Amino acid sequence: MFESLTEKLQKALGDLRRKGRLTEQDVNDALKQIRLVLLEADVNFKVVKEFVAKVKERATGADILETLSAAQQVVKIVNEELKALLSGGGEEGEEQRLLLSPTGPTIIMLAGLQGAGKTTFAAKLALQLRKSGHHPLLVAADIYRPAAIKQLQVVGGQVEVPVFTLGDKQDPVQIVRSALAAAKEGGNDIIIVDTAGRLHIDTQMMEELRKVKSVLSPQEILLVLDAMTGQDAVNVAQQFNEQLGVTGFVMTKMDGDTRGGAALSIRSVTGLPIKYVGTGEKLDAMEPFFPERMASRILGMGDILSLIEKAEQNLDAKKAEELERKLRQSQLDFEDYLEQLRQLKKMGPLDQLMGMLPGMGAMKGKLQAPGEKDTAHMEAMILAMTLQERRRPEIINGSRRRRIAKGSGMTVQDVNNLINNFMQVRKMMKQITEATSGGKRGRMPRIPGFG
């Protein structure tokens, strides 16, 4: 997310950091660069103008410029104003939460144009809610798009959430009315309604959505927007909000939109929050939207809180404790290595995880995170080893390497690289545990590739 924006903002702010004391002209030059960066990222012109004016007002005061840490304070101001832009000045997290009904079932109505990703998001949201202990019901109310109902049934099955449908011959209003009764009978506490989209906003579409809304009386009307469409997404958001009255937005395909202008503009233009962002095609690739964390990520400062949450949700605590014991006793083997690869895969693409680490933006180009294909190849090579070889990697000689390469469909050089990397990791982990447990105290070891 925001790859190009992050890179250019870091460069603009990096020029400031290299200076000792700042003059007003230094700040003006940096803000000129930031203004151009935001416009190139397709941020709304009025939003950019207001943002730069606020930063300039705060950053050019004598109490800032005359301090030795002026550059750091300017960066801090940019970060705070970026958070305010994304949150509308609200507190982090508060407005991003779903509005849940305290009495009956919570009804969430999804709206948007065709191709924005409503059906996929419906399944992603249902999965997240099911994992949180809720009992959601997906409702197929899109009777126009070919195979829309079938798609919802397929993704509903993948996330193990029931799908209510009356087929594509019934009126959407009748479908949602029947769905309410079915949810009550089935004990579902959350109803997620996938409504029909169109290629463009028209009178018929809006009238139908208003009728569905009147029957449902939903707690949430989430407008699903394609982040790749840039300012068009902001225009669509304005029109839907004026005619339907939405409660929040979902930005899909954020992993493919390196500019991010729509996400930066939408809160300021509409006054409504972004509640979720889609970060990939997989059904668990979705995150709640936290303005403070996103601002930090955009400026290359990382997002440790989200990384910790991902770890808590996906990693096995008992296995982590067992791994720690093995590391302390220098017993790391390929079975442990394989287990860690599988657990990391649950957390999402490694390049996204690295983007959550502070300072990793500056490492771009110097350190390449292995992709899904790379980790699949590593897994194949480890699985081609015998149990004895996995537990005692030092016995893997030339003939064994050739057999492993043949068994995994890889080359001997690939096997050599895997074993060499594993040995480096094991050596590094041994040094770390010694440095932190009373052995060789003092400096931490040099990690290959990190300098």
What are the helix (H) ranges across 315-444?
317-328, 334-346, 350-355, 372-383, 387-391, 398-408, 412-435
Output the pLDDT for position 68. Answer: 52
The CATH class that applies to domain 3-87 reads mainly alpha
Residues 279 and 255 sit within 8 Å (Cβ to Cβ): yes
- pLDDT single digits (tens) 306-342: 555 555 555 555 665 665 666 555 567 888 888 777 7
Intervals of CATH 3.40.50.300 along the chain: 94-299
Considering the entire predicted model, what is its pTM? 0.68
- pLDDT single digits (tens) 435-446: 555 544 444 444
- pLDDT single digits (tens) 377-428: 888 999 999 999 998 888 999 999 999 999 999 999 999 999 988 888 777 7
Largest CA distance in the chain: 74
Between residues 345 and 351, the one the model is more confident about: 345
Residue 8 has, within 13 A of its CA and on its CB side, a CA count of 18
The percent of residues in the chain predicted with pLDDT above 70, rounded, is: 75
Output the pLDDT for position 425. Answer: 75
What is the residue whose two structure tokens read 């601002």?
295
Output the pLDDT for position 181. Answer: 94
Q: At what angle do helices 412-435 and 334-346 cross, to 10 degrees?
A: 90
Residues 112 and 197 sit within 8 Å (Cβ to Cβ): yes
* Rounded Cα distance, 385 and 355, in Å: 33
- pLDDT single digits (tens) 217-268: 999 999 999 988 878 888 899 999 999 999 999 999 887 755 667 888 888 8
Output the pLDDT for position 351. Answer: 56
Residues 277 and 254 sit within 8 Å (Cβ to Cβ): yes
Tokens in use for 199? Answer: 């290629």
Output the pLDDT for position 124. Answer: 95
* Rounded Cα distance, 253 and 47, in Å: 22
* Rounded Cα distance, 101 and 220, in Å: 10
Strand ranges (E), 135-245:
136-141, 163-164, 190-195, 220-226
Residue range 308-435, CATH number: 1.10.260.30
Output the pLDDT for position 450. Answer: 41
Intervals of CATH 1.20.120.140 along the chain: 3-87
Question: Side by side, which strands form the sheet with 248-252?
Answer: 163-164, 136-141, 190-195, 106-111, 220-226, 248-252, 274-278, 286-288
> In 10 A of CB 200, how many CB atoms?
10
Rg (CA), the chain: 26
Distances (CA, A) of 445 to 238, 284, 326, 363, 369: 54, 36, 19, 19, 21
- pLDDT single digits (tens) 12-40: 777 777 766 677 888 888 889 889 888 88
Q: Write out the H or E segment, with its range, that includes residue 249.
A: strand 248-252
Q: Work out the pLDDT band at 127, boundaries 50, 70, 90.
A: very high
94-299 domain in CATH 3.40.1160.10?
no
- With 0-12 / 13-18 / 19 or more C-beta atoms within 10 angstroms meaning exposed / middle / buried, residue 34 is buried
* Rounded Cα distance, 36 and 449, in Å: 33
Residues 6+ apart with CB under 8 A from 378: 341, 370, 418
What is the residue whose two structure tokens read 């230094």?
26
